[in-house]
Amino acid sequence: MNIDFERLFTPKVLAGAFGVTVLLLILTFVWIDWTAPPAPDAAGLVAVETVIPAPISTEQPGATPTYDPYAPTPTPTAAPGQFRLGVYVQISGTQGEGLRIRSQPGLTGEQLFLGFDTEVYTVIDGPRDIDGYTWYNLAAINDQTRIGWAASNFLTLIPKP
């Protein structure tokens, strides 16, 4: 059985098929327009802005120590607020205010920058007892341009990061 496509698909047949397709598309768009729900009136709408405050830094409670019979014997540590050269300290207890890092030990030293809670530094000099505080010269472990003196009241000894 041979099909003669030239006789089957004449220009009249193709034009008719195209016309039926266009008519069906128009009917579809009209039907969608008639059955679609009406759009809300934008004039009566009011935008509501919700402002969520940024979280504040809070000091996290320390871990509860557990007994480990295989742990090595701990080495003696310095008294609170007393640090050796080369140890790592973390700023803590500033209640989100930050710790003023100064050019010289003492309250009269120029403030160079603020160190914030959880930042880690290496002790490179000190201690110096001035203005009722014990001061240490600190260097940030990730930015050697951040060097200055800080009061030990806001420093906590931590293990090597």
Domain of 119: which CATH number? 2.30.30.40
C-beta atoms surrounding 138 within 10 Å: 27
pLDDT, position 76? 43
Per-residue pLDDT of the chain (161 residues; tens, 9 = 90+): 677 777 788 889 899 999 999 999 999 999 998 888 877 666 667 778 888 877 776 666 666 666 666 666 554 454 555 788 889 999 998 888 899 999 999 999 999 999 999 899 999 998 999 999 999 999 998 888 899 999 988 898 888 87
Q: What is the pTM of this model?
A: 0.51
Whether 103 and 125 have beta carbons less than 8 Å apart is answered as: no
Tell me whether residue 140 is in a domain: yes
Burial environment of residue 15 by CB neighbours within 10 A (0 to 12, 13 to 18, 19 or more) = exposed
Query: Residue 1: what residue type?
Result: M
Sign of CA dihedral 133, 108, 56, 141: negative
Q: Cα–Cα distances in Å, from 86 out to 31, 105, 120?
A: 79, 18, 12
Tell me whether residue 61 is in a domain: no
Tell me whether residue 143 is in a domain: yes
The radius of gyration of the chain's CA atoms, rounded to the nearest angstrom, is 37
Tell me whether residue 53 is in a domain: no
Domain range enclosing 102: 88-158
**Count: domains in the chain:** 2
Q: Cα–Cα distances in Å, from 3 out to 144, 150, 160?
A: 85, 95, 86
| Residue (of 97, 91, 100, 87) closest to 155 by Cα position | 91
Angstrom distance (rounded) from CA 79 to CA 49: 51
pLDDT, position 65? 63
| Residue (of 15, 149, 148, 160) closest to 88 by Cα position | 160
Tell me whether residue 76 is in a domain: no
Tell me whether residue 63 is in a domain: no
Angstrom distance (rounded) from CA 148 to CA 124: 10
92 and 154 fall within a common domain? yes
92 and 30 fall within a common domain? no
